[in-house]
A and B are shown apart, each in its own frame.
Chain A
Amino acid sequence: MHELISKLCLLPGIRRSPKITDLIVRHDPHSLERLLVRKQDVLNVFAKFHNRQAMRAVEELRAQDDVLDAREIDRLLVSIHWEMQRLGEEFYHGPRVHAAVSATIATIRAAGHSGPLRIVDIGCGIGYTLRWLAGRTQIVSQGVELLGVDLNSALIREANRLSRSENLPCHFVHGDAFSPDHSGQIYLSTGVIHHFRGPALSEFLSRHQRPETLAFLHFDFQPSFLAPYGSWFFHILRMRTRIARHDGVLSAARAHTAETLVQAARSSAPEFASGMHGVHIWNTPLPRVFHTLIGVRRTLLPHLKTHFGPLASRLGELK
Chain B
Amino acid sequence: MTLLILYLLALLDGLLCGGRVSMGRCALIHKRVYYLRALLRGLLGAQIISTVALMTLLAVGGVSSHRAELRDDLESAAGRMMWVFVPYAIAVLGGLALRLIPSTDLRSATSVMALGPLSAIRSPIMIAGVIYGIAPSDLLETRLLGLFVLMLMLSLEYFLNYFAAKRQAAEICQLI
Mark A residues whose CB is within 8 Å of B. Answer: 71, 74-75, 78-79, 81-83, 85-86, 89-92, 95-96, 126, 128, 131-132, 134-136, 154, 158, 161-162, 165-166, 168, 230, 233-234, 237-240, 281-282, 288-289
Contact = CB atoms under 8 A, between A and B. Distances in A.
Given A168-B29, A234-B112, A289-B112, A158 B24 contact: no
Contact of B26 (A82, A92, A282): A82
B29 A74 contact: no
Contacts of A90: 108, 111
B136 interface: no
B24, B30, B107, B168: residue with the most chain A Cβ atoms closer than 10 Å:
B24
Contacts of A237: 116, 119-120
B24 A85 contact: yes
Given A92-B108, A237-B116, A237-B119, A166 B28 contact: yes
Given A86-B24, A92-B108, A78 B176 contact: yes
Interface centre among B26, B119, B176 (most CB of A within 10 A): B176
Contacts of A162: 27-29
A131 B30 CA distance: 10
A237 B119 CA distance: 8
Nearest to B102: A95
Contacts of B30: 135, 166
Contact of B105 (A154, A158, A288): A288
B140 interface: no
Q: Is the interface of B mostly helix, strand, loop or mixed?
A: helix
Q: How large is the interface on B (under 10, 10 to 19, 20 to 34, 35 or more residues)?
A: 20 to 34
A75 B175 CA distance: 8
B17 to A, nearest CB: 14
Given A82-B168, A233-B116, 18 more contacts: A74-B176, A75-B176, A79-B168, A89-B23, A91-B111, A92-B104, A92-B108, A128-B27, A135-B30, A158-B27, A158-B175, A161-B175, A162-B29, A168-B29, A230-B112, A233-B117, A237-B116, A282-B105
B173 to A, nearest CB: 7
A230 B119 CA distance: 15
B20 to A, nearest CB: 10
Contact of A281 (B25, B26, B105): B105
Given A92-B104, A237-B120, A282-B105, A132 B176 contact: no
